[in-house]
Amino acid sequence: MSDGSDLRKRNAERTREAILAAAQDVFSTTPYGEASLKEITHRAGANPALVSRYFGSKEKLFEEALSGALDVGMLTSVPRDRFGEAIAELFTTPSQTRINPLPMLIFSAANKETQAIAVALLHKKIMQPLERWIGGADAAARAAEIMAVSTGFFTFQLILPLQPFQGRADEGVRQWLARSLQAIIDG
Amino acid sequence: MSDGSDLRKRNAERTREAILAAAQDVFSTTPYGEASLKEITHRAGANPALVSRYFGSKEKLFEEALSGALDVGMLTSVPRDRFGEAIAELFTTPSQTRINPLPMLIFSAANKETQAIAVALLHKKIMQPLERWIGGADAAARAAEIMAVSTGFFTFQLILPLQPFQGRADEGVRQWLARSLQAIIDG
DNA sequence: CTCGCAAGTAAATCACAATTTACTTAGCAA
DNA sequence: TTGCTAAGTAAATTGTGATTTACTTGCGAG
């Protein structure tokens, strides 16, 4: 039976997961159009033809990769009165292990198909729960504001690098991030 | 001689400008990879082969289009004590006439080449003059913060549409934008 | 053991758009 | 008027990468 410690060479489930993991890796560091299935499957030790078999298409693979990476818990697991501080700390502490979904979101701008996929998933997996967590009449606006600040920050930290946002960023930038985000939560 | 009112059918200067204008139009509304030279030159009433002649390549055309669109005057022509208010008003007042360079910046994430082009132009045409206009020790950080907020806003207004940012946006969003930007200027 | 099928592969196909090439034509100059 | 050159065009070329196809092989059931 296929439990997690299965050592067979051929194992559809395992291969599928390996491709998905590689896709999250690649899609969060490489623009969608430049992320090739050859590269992704190579990293997974698999063959490009399997993407079609297991996911249907590159776009569907992207959808599943993004869906798996989007996790509102990142935000909502933090106490409200420390929100800004905690998120600013998280954003400015580079982590090799955890994959960051925001670059994938930014890269999804690369074509209309992936834009549509991203908008739908963003609503379902982030905006709706985030709005509920925030609560109140203008929760939707405040949730959108949090996304705007976060995405803007990562755009210029990871994709179009500006010096002040590089690496751990400086104290001033961290404080700005913390205060901006806290102000949105406090309303 | 070729003054601006020249009516000849064949006029290299005129054609070049027409292609450039069409490119700014298309590149600011269509992801780079989906913006075809066929579409751009069609709008300009010209032929795709002319891009190669007048600009060298699609990337060079993009560079010139972005360069022409990036204009820090948008920001620095505003009095400092009304900065937030004025920019928020500008950002939330949809204009068909003026082309918005920020989507082009966001779309430039689509590949490493255009990223590099965008970063270089962003520095030269926006960050440097903006930092000088802001002044002080942490001017670079504050300039980057302004870009982050602005780009984040347009990402979710124009590219991955979130309801609260659509159209003129609501009063709460405008106030948030105004206050966020003003706070960065005030330090 | 061996058969059948699921898993995996290599190579062909398809699609598409940028760029190049070889050609046509408008417009100016002598 | 005639030719020469710059401007413009149509079609061929190229390159790339996703997807499909036809094939091979591992592996477990019976």
- pLDDT in the model for residue B7: 63
Residue A36 beta carbon within 7 A of nucleic strand D: yes
Eight-class DSSP state of A158: I
DSSP calls for B91-149: HTS--SSSPPHHHHHHHGGGSHHHHHHHHHHIIIIIIHHHHHHH-STTHHHHHHHHHHH
Angstrom distance, B58 CA to C19 C1': 10
- Picking from B109, B170, B184, the nearest residue to A109 by CB comes out as B109
- pLDDT in the model for residue A3: 37
For residue B55, give Cα distances in angstroms to A9, B105, B148. 52, 20, 31
Measured between CA atoms, the residue of chain B closest to residue A161 is B119
B137 close contact with A: CB closer than 8 A: no
pLDDT of B123 > 70? The answer is: yes
pLDDT of B54 > 80? The answer is: yes
pLDDT digits (tens, 9 = 90+) for B4-51: 356 677 999 999 999 999 999 999 999 999 999 999 999 999 999 999
pLDDT digits (tens, 9 = 90+) for B138-152: 999 999 999 999 999
- pLDDT in the model for residue B126: 98
> Looking at the domain assignment, is residue A170 inside a domain?
yes
Residue A9 beta carbon within 7 A of nucleic strand D: yes
CA separation for the pair A165, B129 (Å, rounded): 18
> Looking at the domain assignment, is residue B33 inside a domain?
yes
pLDDT digits (tens, 9 = 90+) for B64-116: 999 999 999 999 999 999 999 999 999 999 888 999 999 999 999 999 999 99
B182 close contact with A: CB closer than 8 A: no
Nearest-CA distance from B53 to chain A in Å?
26
- Nearest of B116, B113, B91, B114 to residue B102 by alpha carbon: B91
- pLDDT means per 10 residues in chain A (187 residues)? 54 97 98 98 98 98 98 97 98 92 98 98 98 97 98 98 96 98 96
Tell me which residues of chain B, numbers 66 to 95, contact chain A at a CB-CB cutoff of 8 Å.
none
Q: How large is the C-alpha radius of gyration of chain A? A: 18
For the beta carbon of residue A152, count every other beta carbon within 10 angstroms: 27
B56 close contact with A: CB closer than 8 A: no
User: Encoding tokens for residue B42?
Assistant: 């069609």
For residue A138, give Cα distances in angstroms to A130, A142, B28, B138, B158. 12, 6, 30, 33, 21
> Looking at the domain assignment, is residue B2 inside a domain?
no
Q: Which residues of B touch A170 (CB under 8 A)?
A: 141
Q: How many domains does chain A have?
A: 2
User: Encoding tokens for residue B164?
Assistant: 């609260």
Q: Which domain holds residue B54?
A: 12-62
- pLDDT in the model for residue A96: 86
B146 and B86, same structural domain?
Answer: yes
- pLDDT in the model for residue A92: 97
pLDDT of B3 > 50? The answer is: no
B95 and B28, same structural domain?
Answer: no
> Looking at the domain assignment, is residue A3 inside a domain?
no
Nearest-CA distance from A179 to chain B in Å?
10
**Nucleotide nearest residue B36, measured CA to C1':** C17
CATH of the domain at B48: 1.10.10.60
- Nearest of A182, A172, A150, A179 to residue A79 by alpha carbon: A182
A107 and A63, same structural domain?
Answer: no
Mutating which of B162, B165, B171, B174 best tests the A interface, going by the most A Cβ atoms within 10 A?
Answer: B162
A63 and A138, same structural domain?
Answer: no
> Looking at the domain assignment, is residue A168 inside a domain?
yes
Q: In degrees, to the nearest 5, what angle opens at C-alpha A142 toward C-alphas A138 and A143? A: 115
